[in-house]
Amino acid sequence: MKARSFNLGWSFFKEGSENNKKTVTLPHDAMLYENRSKDNPSGAACAYFAGGKYIYEKTIAADEGWRNKSVILEFEGVYQKAVVYVNENKVCSNIYGYSNFFVPINDEIILGKENTIKVVADNSDVPNSRWYSGSGIYRNVKLYVGNKKHIVPDSVFVKAEADGRTFIKGEVTGGEAVKLCISKDGTLVADTLSQVTDGKFEAEIQVDDPSLWDEDTPTLYDLSIELFEAEQSLDETSLKFGFRTISWDSANGLTVNGKKVLLRGSCIHHDNGILGAAAIDEAEDRKIRIHKEAGFNAIRSAHNPCSKAILNACDKYGVYVMDEFADHWLIHKNPYDYANEEFKANWEKDLLAMIRKDFSHPSVIMYSIGNEISELGLDSGANMAKELAEYVKKIDPTRCVTAGINLMLATMAAKGKGLYGKEDGNNSGNQSMDNMPTSSFFNMLMNHMGDIMDKMASGKDADKVTARLEGILDINGYNYATSRYISEGKKYPGRVIVGSETLPRSIYKNWKLCEKLSYLIGDFVWTGWDYLGESGIGTVKYKSEMDAGDLIISGGPGLIDICGKMRPEMQWNRMIWHMTDIPEISVEPMSHAGEKNSISMWRDNDGVASWTWPGCEGKRNKVRVYATGAYVELLVNGKSYGRKKTKEYKADFKNIMYVPGTITAKSYDTENRLIGEKELLTDEGETRIMLTPSKTKLVANGEDSCFVDIDLVGDKNITKSSCDKMLRIKVDGEGELIAFGSARPAPKESFIGNTHSTYLGKAQAVIRSGQQPSKITISVSSVNRTEKLVIDCQ
């Protein structure tokens, strides 16, 4: 069956506010409309937003052409506890907030009438997440209309090997045969017929000399499937796939198409920064494109199944995927999460949905069945892992199975001292981050926790945990366990492992081990892209900001901020990955010169690649230089501050005075040869607003969108990092402002208003197209200054 968008024209309101209905376009995050408060029980984990119960309604006209048809709705993600009604009759419910689900509605609709679809999303019981969850229908909704005899959505599985062998299977609700056609760039390359038996079809097609899919050449083919009965066409569908063969073993590590691959991985949460959890296609595509440009070749969907739009983007750009199922199984981490009874009742259905979603995407190379499951230290957890892994292999034996194992948590549980409580659900995860100490002692504890976790991971008790999992997982994923990497190969020579979650500061050591140890297939940093929730765990906090009392809403550890801007640490990673020898200059904010700050184990530097700090002349702060050379020289306006030896591609220069002009870093090898140079310039002149859209043309379908980067610049179009201003935005024409904000960790404003302050001279807006062709005019203003941008919507 072919799907069409069902995102437009929904009415939305919060329970109890029926008189305040709004018309919204999906995907939509209802949580962004809630007030933030330290008193909200969601706490820092969910960025202090309140929960709620939300109602979405949409009418649909069912004409006579739908008689004897199958009508199916697909919801790609509703957070959470969704209940779907048709004409007030309950037709479906779905507990897990991250699984897609299908709702047949043909038996409920009334032909010739307007039918009302109602979706209730109940996220009122909080806390239920360790990160910002969002609320409501936050992913796409699709409508399928077709014959009673049709190809079942999400049932087609394609396994396309590098030698051209293509195995295809799927499910139908009737019919006699299917015609399968494979094409590339519009040209047919192979086809065949397959008979239907007991509602299923299978076929093998040979494609000669296929162009292969991998991170460097992500070539995609098109598969079209047409269902027939008595030579009459009943249904058709299509999908994209790629030819690639993956394998893994301890001697060769991970190979794709016979070539060894090391995973330069990024852990990502599902939110999209100022859009909240709304998974609009443009945002998901942009997130993956920026990851690839930054140097990553893999993502881990921490800690839930990713959207279909993410998978499409990973296929398109050549990014490998570890799709993760859940953050909890039997033991609660929050009082109202998916664990225990809800998990037991729903895991099989939800895990199947994830696998079927991933079936034919070449980017998906492994499934993670869980993250930091403390009960892996118990027999019940090991048994659950076995049941989950066996189920995955039964449905899809072509990919490897892993899990993100925190050996410290598992060993604590094994000793009866589990951090999250017991399986009976009592005393489980009911202490919010806000009830923990916030003193300097807490900061010190957090700074040392990484070392504690790492040390415990290599102990004998941790060995016992891994022994429970022997033969269950194809690849052991270790969270914060660098100390175990070398000993793992000596003690267990047949194992394959991956750093499923690691500290950003550990990348140099970790990557050296990835290159050295054949059985260590890669590293997934926490995190590649910053996110909402787990507020402040990686945020560098300054005394002036802490005294202001504003609530931090972002996590802070991302190498890329919530607006998609790469931090200087990202370039450090690229050097470690041998992708560049050009140094990077990271200037601690001159606007905070002399202030005390608080750092964490997830981020030990707050530098900005900027030498434009108006109003900070004469102030001093630290400058860090990332460079691959043995030595680095730092110069300001030609004056040398000397050379320093690099350690792990880093060198720190303290008390560097800000003087407008040029700051230069030069990198030298051991033979005193210049191997790289970088300079940052000061921009002066009158401050103005610069608008940079991600694209200048939109499709007038009501769903296309673009990101507009907003910078405060001078004569050279360089961002002024200490020149923040309150901005106001206005959108005229057939366009809609759907988000406006910045990467400021503790913003006073919301992301759904028309005013917001810049952060380090930057802000961002997201504009959605209307349904009629027009010129969309975006006006951004500060005091005595307005800049306009026109986008063509056709």
CB 382 within 8 A of CB 293: no
CATH code of the domain covering residue 12: 2.60.120.260
pLDDT band, residue 448 (cuts 50/70/90): low
Instruction: Please name the residues in contact with 432: beta carbons below 8 A apart, sequence gap of 6 or more.
Output: 41, 43, 44, 45, 127
Q: For position 418, what pLDDT does the model report?
A: 80
Q: What is the pLDDT of residues 392-436, one digit of tens each?
A: 999 999 999 999 999 999 999 999 888 786 665 444 444 444 443
In a domain, 48, yes or no: yes
- Cite the beta strand spans of 694-773 per DSSP E: 697-698, 705-713, 726-732, 735-741, 755-757, 762-769
Q: For position 252, what pLDDT does the model report?
A: 98
Tell whether 720 and 616 lie within a shared domain.
no
Over residues 295-307, the mean pLDDT reads 99
Q: For position 784, what pLDDT does the model report?
A: 86
In a domain, 618, yes or no: yes
Question: In the predicted model, is pLDDT for residue 741 greater than 90?
Answer: yes
Alpha helix locations (H) across 237-378?
A: 281-294, 308-317, 341-358
pLDDT band, residue 16 (cuts 50/70/90): very high
Over residues 22-32, the mean pLDDT reads 98
Q: How many domains does the chain have?
A: 5
Tell whether 63 and 193 lie within a shared domain.
no
Percent above pLDDT 70 for the chain: 96
Q: What is the pLDDT of residues 696-733, one digit of tens each?
A: 999 999 999 999 999 999 999 999 999 999 999 999 99
Question: In the predicted model, is pLDDT for residue 542 greater than 80?
Answer: yes
Over residues 350-360, the mean pLDDT reads 98
Of the residues 681, 712, 742, the one at which a domain ends: 681
Tell whether 605 and 722 lie within a shared domain.
no
Question: In the predicted model, is pLDDT for residue 439 greater than 60?
Answer: no
Percent above pLDDT 90 for the chain: 91
Dihedral (CA of 210, 215, 216, 219) sign: positive
In a domain, 562, yes or no: no
Question: In the predicted model, is pLDDT for residue 604 greater than 80?
Answer: yes
Q: For position 424, what pLDDT does the model report?
A: 52
Instruction: Please name the residues in contact with 408: beta carbons below 8 A apart, sequence gap of 6 or more.
Output: 452, 453, 456, 457, 462, 480
Q: How far is CA 143 from CA 72, 103, 146, 350, 732, in A?
A: 6, 10, 10, 20, 31
Which amino acid belongs to residue 580? T
In a domain, 494, yes or no: yes
In a domain, 783, yes or no: yes
Tell whether 326 and 448 lie within a shared domain.
yes
CATH code of the domain covering residue 257: 3.20.20.80
Tell whether 128 and 201 lie within a shared domain.
no
Tell whether 297 and 386 lie within a shared domain.
yes
Query: Residue 732 CB: number of other CB atoms within 10 A?
Result: 13
Tell whether 648 and 716 lie within a shared domain.
no
Q: Is the pTM of this model over 0.85?
A: yes
Domain hosting residue 363, numbered range: 247-535
Q: For position 425, what pLDDT does the model report?
A: 46
Tell whether 472 and 335 lie within a shared domain.
yes
Tell whether 655 and 749 lie within a shared domain.
no
Instruction: Please name the residues in contact with 231: beta carbons below 8 A apart, sequence gap of 6 or more.
Output: none
Q: What is the pLDDT of residues 502-537, one digit of tens each?
A: 999 999 999 999 999 999 999 999 999 999 999 999
CB 435 within 8 A of CB 196: no
Of the residues 241, 256, 272, the one at which a domain ends: 241
Question: In the predicted model, is pLDDT for residue 442 greater than 60?
Answer: no
In a domain, 710, yes or no: yes
Of the residues 121, 147, 173, the one at which a domain ends: 147
CATH code of the domain covering residue 772: 2.60.40.10
In a domain, 300, yes or no: yes
Residue 508 — φ and ψ, nearest 5°? -60, -50
pLDDT band, residue 155 (cuts 50/70/90): very high
Mean per-residue pLDDT of the chain: 95
Tell whether 667 and 630 lie within a shared domain.
yes
Tell whether 789 and 718 lie within a shared domain.
yes
Tell whether 175 and 123 lie within a shared domain.
no
In a domain, 449, yes or no: yes
Q: What is the pLDDT of residues 475-505, one digit of tens each?
A: 999 999 999 999 999 999 999 999 999 999 9
